[in-house]
Amino acid sequence: MSTCDDRSEPRVEQSASTASTASTADTEPYRETDPAPAVGRATPLLDSRERVSGRLVFVGDVRLAGMLRGRFLRSPHAHARIVSIDVSRCRALPGVHAVITGKDTARRYGVLPVGQDETAIAIDRVRFVGQEVAAVAAVDDETAERALRAIAVEYEVLPAYLDAQHALDGCGPPIHDDRPRNIEKEYHHVFGDPDEGFRRAEVVVEDTFYHPRVTHAALEPHGTVARYDGGGRFTLWTSTQAPRHVQRGVATALDVAESSVRVIPCAVGGGFGGKSETFPHDVAAALLARITGRPVQFIATREEVFLLHRGRPESHIRMRVGLRADGRIAAVECETIQDGGAFCSYGVVTILYSGALLAAIYDVRDLRFDGYRVVTNKPPCGPMRGHGTIGARHAFEVVLDRAAEALGLDPVTVRERNLLEPGSRTVNDLRVTSYGYPRCLATVVEASRFRDKYRRLPRGRGVGIGSSHYVSGASNAILRGRFPHTTVALRAERDGSVVLFTGAVEIGQGSDTAQAIIVARTLGIAPEQVRVVSGDTALTPVDLGSYASRVTFMAGNAALEAAERLATKLRARVARHLDVPADELELRGERVRSKRDRAVSVSFLEALRLTAEEEGCLQTQGAYWPPPEARGGRFPGAGVGPGVSYSYAAQVAEVEVDEETGEVRVLDVWAAHDCGRALNPLTVRGQIEGSVWMGLAQALTEEQLFNERGQCLNPSLLEYKVPTTLDLPRLHTFIVESDDPEGPFGAKEVGEGSLAAILPAIASAVYDAVGVWINDLPITPEKVLAALAARADAKDGTARAHGASTLRRPPVPHPRVRTTSPEEPDRTPARS
Amino acid sequence: MPGKELLQLNVNGDAVAVAVRPSDTLLDALRDTIGLTGTKRGCDDGSCGACTVLIAGRPALACLVLALTVDGDDVTTIEAASAHPASAAVQQALVEEGGVQCGYCTPGIVLAAHALFAEYPAPDDAQIVAGLANNLCRCTGYARIVEAVRRVARATAAS
């Protein structure tokens, strides 16, 4: 490992020295005769040749005969009544095939049953700059753009609510008539006795934090192609992580049966949560295809992607942590106010996640959470990697560090004193099955030599620690019911190959390959012998989608069950053929063979043929239901937070802070993630590093800015400041395996759980380096300079106050929520 | 064709003649007129690098180049990348090192790396990082991409 004095160009550690696997169990179930040990072998994505050669077909690459281009006219106002809209000139233009407005798409939809508040096109009121006001289908983009300019809209501008405080105060008509206080949802949870806990505390630290809205910035813009068959059926090719939600949303909006909408996910050029629901272009494309009889394609511009948003909400967090004299957490109190934009999307889930996961890394017994999801006149927020947990985790970790310091404890010791136990339940009824967090912590502390560095590095250099976690699939589905969360089907072909049909969408995270590995391992064949068909709603069984880090665990378990059932069929048939008991047979090394005498065997191909000759097409399926005991407590909002399992992560960041310029440079990151078991270390590593990277960007550069008219000021990748290779720290990645008792081969989440830890790790490292806490993200040079100047002012009593005036945006005060009546909905205190 | 002009290019070794509008970019021409969709559109303002191609062997952002300004030039796109030893090696290394996830930025990365190896046969770390700095990737955090290119650089230096 390179030393930290190495200030040459940033570089990446060689894989051999950093992709360590710290396993807590025997990792060698295979024998020498297995030619292709599928589980635990670094396996490139099965379609990676396509991925590196530009051959993958994304939605923007779809070309159908006669295809028209769709475009939206968007609102220039944050809040306005549509007085009139005249499309007659537009409709008359040559090359324009159809124009639609709000009255054509009047039926409401939304991804959550409690959030049916969207229409594809605004009906009589616009609620954010960029909201869809009309749509056209024309022969090409140029004609479509000209057509939009020919639409005359008269608006009556209303007062707009552009931040949470403003929306909570109210001054004009509310954004939605049924949300008179501009609050989408509020929750007030009390577990244990936090007041008594704080009384018992030796130290209590409280502070406020601000996280601006950030967005996924997937490289591929959103888009869809819709085709109508003339007989009532639609086909949509779209860029989505959740084709079943798109199917449901489009069917609802158009008032047709779900079965008449077939959704085929194209290759998805990055999701990160941003493509997890029905978008206005999905509905408009379908409608325009029906009207014109021709396929219609919508592809968002980059600016439109920022307007679609569905990213992380602006969040205001007040966090209070008390520690007892022995370093144990005495009580935790958190108030989260999220500015969720104009529509609900997943917002109720987002606000609940910000509270539910406060108690699932450390042993917290006394907890209070107050959460408010506020409606504002900005683009709607949605789910983004680490959904709901990021700000709360940043605030918790920082306040924990400060309380520990006040108590004279270092950041490692305070964490070690507050561990959970595997097999336990948290105070808010989350079930902890496997718990590799202690191992994650020990791994990064040792690898980074944290204890040698903390408070001991020269001024301007610092280290910090952060922890995080995430659900490995939500135990409660968006749509309640007794259905399984996923079903996976297998079909064995006569040539010895296997086709796997899964509704879980491959979005580059490696889910197709992970399911193939599970099937291959179970059938004793190579992953490359499995062809995966994923996502197409007409071909694959229902799966809820590639979000909430649910696929490896849920679709993985379903794939495992399907493969085991296929193996059982083959064993039964081969047992008769070889005249041996079926339970004596195993599937290994592309053979079905006797465990006693390996010479007694037939090839996998022969076994398939023997079985298919009697049965015809060989098909099996498996399904996954979360166990009832994993579904959480019985208080309002208890349904969000329970996962079937949880991943854990610990990270150390080492930074250098230039006190002249305020620049923060991340030199090294040590990241350890407990993924249960790495089915595919190559993609596990990719998910950990991608998460760390995305969190690092949120910590240091990314922020969506709005002006006083509600216009997004930086809707481009350059101005939004997506980091480049030049910002690359040395990244040391460690995979920790805790063997989850219910995960497929012990596997659980890896796609999101590592994101949050890097924020507090960097914030804490900046404090270690120069002694200031920056609670307002991103940690920009201006804020560091302002904080250093403020500290100097406080010391010598002068009032230079330089620095603050150079800020890109002024500091945001924590909003005050006025309670209007003592008896509000959802105020029921929850006790476990 | 009113308003359109003839554009003649040598794309990946094939002579191509198509009618384009004066306002069309090279990216428009490649994707929408010539039908080579491997080159990706990510931003249309030069921020992301997904549309990186080679014009006369040099890297360029196709979304910022008006098609008619490169009339008569040689253009190389991702569709021909595997025909060149350096970019073929980069593609293989990206596969094996986990340097590709969603694959949307990858065509641009491969051509940027191709241009890098044309300039420096065995680039050092600083040259690799600088050579890829115009190409955004949102999935990998770049570490595995840089490692893949470094692996090819090491192999080139050793040979």
Q: What value of ipTM does the predicted structure carry?
A: 0.98
- Are the Cβ atoms of B138 and A270 closer than 8 angstroms? yes
Whether A646 and A431 have beta carbons less than 8 Å apart is answered as no
A53: chain B residues, CB-CB within 8 Å = 38, 78-79, 81-82, 91, 107
Distances (CA, A) of B153 to A64, A93, A400, A520, B119: 42, 56, 45, 35, 12
For residue B138, give the nearest of A42, A219, A683 by CB distance.
Answer: A219
How confident is the model over A363-407, as pLDDT tens digits? 999 999 999 999 999 999 999 999 999 999 999 999 999 999 999
- Is residue A571 domain-shared with residue A651, that is, in the same domain? no
Mean pLDDT of B64-93: 97
Q: Quick one: pLDDT at residue B9? A: 97
Q: Give the largest CA-CA distance in chain B.
A: 56
Which of A52, A56, A59, A303 should we substitute to test contact with B (largest number of B Cβ atoms within 10 Å)?
A52
Q: Dihedral (C-alpha) A596, A600, A606, A611: value to the nearest 10 degrees?
A: -60
- The pLDDT-based confidence of A21 (bands split at 50, 70, 90) is very low
Closest CA to A68 of A292, A268, A373, A355: A292
- Is residue A554 domain-shared with residue A639, that is, in the same domain? no
Task: For the sheet with B74-76, list strands across it.
Answer: B14-20, B5-11, B74-76, B52-55, B58-61
- Is residue A343 domain-shared with residue A422, that is, in the same domain? yes
Task: Count CB neighbours of B154 within 10 A.
Answer: 11
Q: Is A671's Cβ below 8 Å from some Cβ in B?
A: no
- Is residue A459 domain-shared with residue A543, that is, in the same domain? no
Confirm whether A11 is domain-assigned: no
How confident is the model over A293-320, as pLDDT tens digits? 999 999 999 999 999 999 999 999 999 9
CA A76, A81, A82 angle in degrees (round to 5)?
Answer: 75
- Is residue A650 domain-shared with residue A572, that is, in the same domain? no
Confirm whether A384 is domain-assigned: yes
Distance between CA A187 and CA A447 in Å, rounded? 41
Q: Quick one: pLDDT at residue A12? A: 31
Residues forming a β-bridge with A476 = none
Assign 3-class secondary structure to A356-375.
HHHHCCECCCCEEEEEEEEC
Closest CA to A331 of A376, A366, A358: A366
Q: Quick one: pLDDT at residue A818? A: 80
- The pLDDT-based confidence of A172 (bands split at 50, 70, 90) is confident
Q: Quick one: pLDDT at residue A795? A: 83
- The pLDDT-based confidence of A694 (bands split at 50, 70, 90) is very high
A641 HSE (CA, 13 A, CB side): 28
- Is residue A151 domain-shared with residue A100, that is, in the same domain? yes
Q: Which domain holds residue A111?
A: 60-158+222-299
- Is residue A548 domain-shared with residue A455, that is, in the same domain? no
Mean pLDDT of A208-212: 98
Cis peptide before B59 (omega within 30 of 0): no
Handedness of CA A76, A131, A698, A115 (dihedral sign): positive
Q: Quick one: pLDDT at residue A830? A: 45
Distance between CA A320 and CA A785 in Å, rounded? 26
Is the model's pLDDT at B84 over the cut of 50?
yes
Environment class of residue A540 by beta-carbon count within 10 Å: exposed (0-12), middle (13-18) or buried (19+)?
buried
Confirm whether A143 is domain-assigned: yes
Distance between CA A281 and CA A251 in Å, rounded? 14
Percent of chain B scoring above 70 in pLDDT: 99
Distance between CA A414 and CA A405 in Å, rounded? 9
Q: Is A575's Cβ below 8 Å from some Cβ in B?
A: no
Token readout for A809 is 């945006």
- The pLDDT-based confidence of A808 (bands split at 50, 70, 90) is confident
Which of A2, A53, A722 should we substitute to test contact with B (largest number of B Cβ atoms within 10 Å)?
A53
Q: Quick one: pLDDT at residue A171? A: 79
Number of A to B CB contacts under 8 A, please give it. Answer: 191
Mean pLDDT of A420-428: 95
Q: Quick one: pLDDT at residue A13? A: 34
Task: Count CB neighbours of A816 within 10 A.
Answer: 10
Instruction: Give B122 to chain A, closest Cα distance, Å.
Output: 16
Instruction: Specify the 3-state DSSP secondary structure of A4.
Output: coil
Q: Quick one: pLDDT at residue A794? A: 85
- Is residue A565 domain-shared with residue A444, that is, in the same domain? no
Is the model's pLDDT at A821 over the cut of 50?
no
- Are the Cβ atoms of A508 and B78 closer than 8 angstroms? no
Distance between CA A561 and CA A392 in Å, rounded? 37
- The pLDDT-based confidence of A7 (bands split at 50, 70, 90) is very low
In chain A, the number of structural domains is 3
> Among A569, A603, A624, which residue terminates a domain?
A624
Q: How much is the mean pLDDT over chain B?
A: 96
Instruction: Specify the 3-state DSSP secondary structure of A498.
Output: strand
Is the model's pLDDT at B30 over the cut of 60?
yes
**What CATH code is carried by the domain that includes residue A91?**
3.90.1170.50
Q: Quick one: pLDDT at residue A379? A: 98
Confirm whether A480 is domain-assigned: no
Whether A524 and A644 have beta carbons less than 8 Å apart is answered as no
Q: How much is the mean pLDDT over chain A?
A: 93
Token readout for A623 is 């399904």
B150: chain A residues, CB-CB within 8 Å = 12
Is the model's pLDDT at A826 over the cut of 50?
no
Q: Quick one: pLDDT at residue A480? A: 81
- Is residue A542 domain-shared with residue A563, that is, in the same domain? yes
Distance between CA A657 and CA A400 in Å, rounded? 23
Whether A34 and A749 have beta carbons less than 8 Å apart is answered as no
Instruction: Specify the 3-state DSSP secondary structure of A552.
Output: helix
Distance between CA A235 and CA A128 in Å, rounded? 30
Residues forming a β-bridge with A23 = A737
Q: Is A95's Cβ below 8 Å from some Cβ in B?
A: no
Confirm whether A65 is domain-assigned: yes
Distance between CA A79 and CA A126 in Å, rounded? 6
Distances (CA, A) of A584 to A581, A600, A608, A704: 5, 11, 18, 62
Q: How would you classify the pairing of strands B74-76 and B5-11?
A: parallel
Q: Rounded to the nearest 5°, which phi and psi values hold at A549?
A: 50, 45
Token readout for A7 is 């200030």
Percentages helix, strand, coil for chain A, rounded to the nearest 5?
Answer: 30, 25, 45
Instruction: Specify the 3-state DSSP secondary structure of A607.
Output: helix
Strand ranges in A383-497 using DSSP code E only, listed in sequence order: 424-425, 431-432, 461-471, 486-492
For residue A520, which amino acid is it? A
Q: What domains, with CATH codes, occur in chain B?
A: 5-80 (3.10.20.30), 84-158 (1.10.150.120)
For residue B94, give the nearest of A52, A216, A722 by CB distance.
Answer: A52
Q: What is the pTM assigned to this prediction?
A: 0.94
- Are the Cβ atoms of A219 and B104 closer than 8 angstroms? yes
Distance between CA A476 and CA A626 in Å, rounded? 8
- Are the Cβ atoms of B125 and A509 closer than 8 angstroms? no
- The pLDDT-based confidence of A793 (bands split at 50, 70, 90) is confident
Distance between CA A80 and CA A791 in Å, rounded? 44
H or E element, residue A574: helix A556-578
Instruction: Give B34 to chain A, closest Cα distance, Å.
Output: 12
Confirm whether A304 is domain-assigned: no
For residue A635, which amino acid is it? F
Q: Is A16's Cβ below 8 Å from some Cβ in B?
A: no
- Are the Cβ atoms of B94 and A731 closer than 8 angstroms? no
Whether A241 and A547 have beta carbons less than 8 Å apart is answered as yes
Q: Is A574's Cβ below 8 Å from some Cβ in B?
A: no
How confident is the model over B126-141, as pLDDT tens digits? 999 999 999 999 999 9
For residue A717, give the nearest of B31, B43, B130 by CB distance.
Answer: B43
Is the model's pLDDT at A181 over the cut of 90?
yes
Residue B86's contacts (CB-CB under 8 Å, 6 or more residues apart) are B113, B114, B117, B118, B152, B156
Confirm whether A14 is domain-assigned: no
Is the model's pLDDT at A358 over the cut of 70?
yes
A14: chain B residues, CB-CB within 8 Å = 147
Distance between CA A791 and CA A745 in Å, rounded? 53
- The pLDDT-based confidence of A106 (bands split at 50, 70, 90) is confident
> Among A256, A277, A299, which residue terminates a domain?
A299
Q: Nearest residue on chain B to A267, judged by CA atoms? A: B102
CA A166, A170, A175 angle in degrees (round to 5)?
Answer: 95
Handedness of CA A426, A427, A430, A431 (dihedral sign): positive
Give the B window 86-145 contacts with A, CB below 8 Å.
91, 94-98, 100-107, 110, 125-126, 128-130, 132-145
Distances (CA, A) of A521 to A243, A577, A621, A681: 28, 23, 16, 15
**What CATH code is carried by the domain that includes residue A498?**
3.30.365.10
Give the B window 61-90 contacts with A, CB below 8 Å.
77-79, 81-82
Mean pLDDT of A624-636: 95
Distance between CA A194 and CA B88 in Å, rounded? 61
- Are the Cβ atoms of A54 and B126 closer than 8 angstroms? no
Q: Dihedral (C-alpha) A525, A527, A531, A535: value to the nearest 10 degrees?
A: 130
How confident is the model over A464-510, as pLDDT tens digits? 999 999 999 999 998 888 999 999 999 998 888 899 999 999 999 99
A508: chain B residues, CB-CB within 8 Å = 100-103, 139
Q: Is A17's Cβ below 8 Å from some Cβ in B?
A: no
H or E element, residue A531: strand A530-534
DSSP state, residue A55: -
Confirm whether A661 is domain-assigned: yes
Q: Nearest residue on chain A to B127, judged by CA atoms? A: A9
How confident is the model over A564-596, as pLDDT tens digits? 999 999 999 999 999 999 999 999 999 999 999
Which of B11, B53, B104 should we substitute to test contact with A (largest number of A Cβ atoms within 10 Å)?
B104
Whether A481 and A784 have beta carbons less than 8 Å apart is answered as no
Is the model's pLDDT at A349 over the cut of 60?
yes
- Is residue A425 domain-shared with residue A356, that is, in the same domain? yes
Whether A622 and A515 have beta carbons less than 8 Å apart is answered as no
Instruction: Give B72 to chain A, closest Cα distance, Å.
Output: 24
Distance between CA A760 and CA A756 in Å, rounded? 8
- Is residue A382 domain-shared with residue A240, that is, in the same domain? no
- Is residue A619 domain-shared with residue A637, that is, in the same domain? no
- Are the Cβ atoms of B140 and A693 closer than 8 angstroms? yes
Is the model's pLDDT at B143 over the cut of 70?
yes
Is the model's pLDDT at A685 over the cut of 50?
yes
How confident is the model over A537-554, as pLDDT tens digits? 999 999 999 999 999 999
Residues in chain A: 832
Q: Is A174's Cβ below 8 Å from some Cβ in B?
A: no
Mean pLDDT of A262-280: 98
Where b means 16+ CB within 10 Å and e means fewer, A708-731 reads eebbbebbbbeebbbbbbebbbbb
> Among A272, A299, A326, which residue terminates a domain?
A299
Whether B73 and B26 have beta carbons less than 8 Å apart is answered as no
